[in-house]
A = this chain, B = another copy of it.
């Protein structure tokens, strides 16, 4: 079973998951072996936990459009106790959580930017359905949906997919965002993310695109070159409460952002992730869900690891100029 260890110095939680070291690669370098995510190879994955599929079809057989399976090499395990142990300065708990894979196409598509708008909307609805289903289990307080696009961004399988991890606690990065947003709310009586969406949409220097309900921007303090955020214009703490219509528009907006990135940077590796409020139903006026798209164009190096700061060689205002020039 994986183990969550607490760094005695910083308090940071680290997942030690030896199972993960056994992951095979299918990133285009071993063409002979079949892809476990292609339709027809369903028996190569653990049994599905959810799928949008033809009502005439059977689980774990072809006929699906998006399919969700447990990660075969999970970073966390959803069975077993959460008992913690302590020895001297060292503290750990069982690595309790859920780790799922969302397979985004039955065909062997390798870039999410190639999915149709309709298919991408279906993928977003599947994210929502899994978040809603997992939020019924009281053990989970936070769910992170993320995508690794391309091997340099951490993908070991090239077939389009994203992942989801449900955790018993909100993770450090989300807590840091919520803490900062709460302080801003307490001082100003407004949601900081609403303010960012408004200020950047009006100023325009960091605005990639404005849609009816969404704004796409390069954030002011971007960690990475061409980092992009997508925020709902209206205050909304929970991704998983988005309506079908909202998600259809979001698919349009996300596809537009990815197409711009792919055009300007020739299909770069990237991660995207959805930050949504923890599942505890407490005060939510200060936090606003959003998508972060993080291209992997520069290596994170010794300075970043040692300082916790980032050096970004491309000002977001310069990235925006290039992203806006694209004709799609």
Asked whether B195 lies within 8 Å of A313 as measured between CB atoms, the reply is no
CB of A34 within 8 Å of the partner chain: no
How many residues on the A side are at the interface (Cβ–Cβ under 8 A)? 80
Asked whether B180 lies within 8 Å of A10 as measured between CB atoms, the reply is yes
**In chain A, residues 116-175, which have Cβ atoms closer than 8 Å to a Cβ of chain B?**
144, 146-148, 151-155, 163, 165, 167, 171-174
Asked whether A165 lies within 8 Å of B8 as measured between CB atoms, the reply is no
**In chain A, residues 209-231, which have Cβ atoms closer than 8 Å to a Cβ of chain B?**
219-223, 225
Minimum distance in angstroms from A63 CB to a CB of chain B: 29
Asked whether A273 lies within 8 Å of B302 as measured between CB atoms, the reply is yes
With both beta carbons as reference points, the residue of chain B lying nearest to A88 in the complex is identified as: B199
Q: Could you say which residues of chain B place their CB within 8 Å of the CB of A281? A: none
Minimum distance in angstroms from A144 CB to a CB of chain B: 5
Given contacts A199-B89, A271-B302, contact A307 B12 (CB under 8 A): no
Asked whether B10 lies within 8 Å of A311 as measured between CB atoms, the reply is no
Give me the 6 closest cross-chain CB pairs, A-B, nearest first: A154-B301, A146-B302, A173-B308, A172-B308, A171-B307, A273-B306
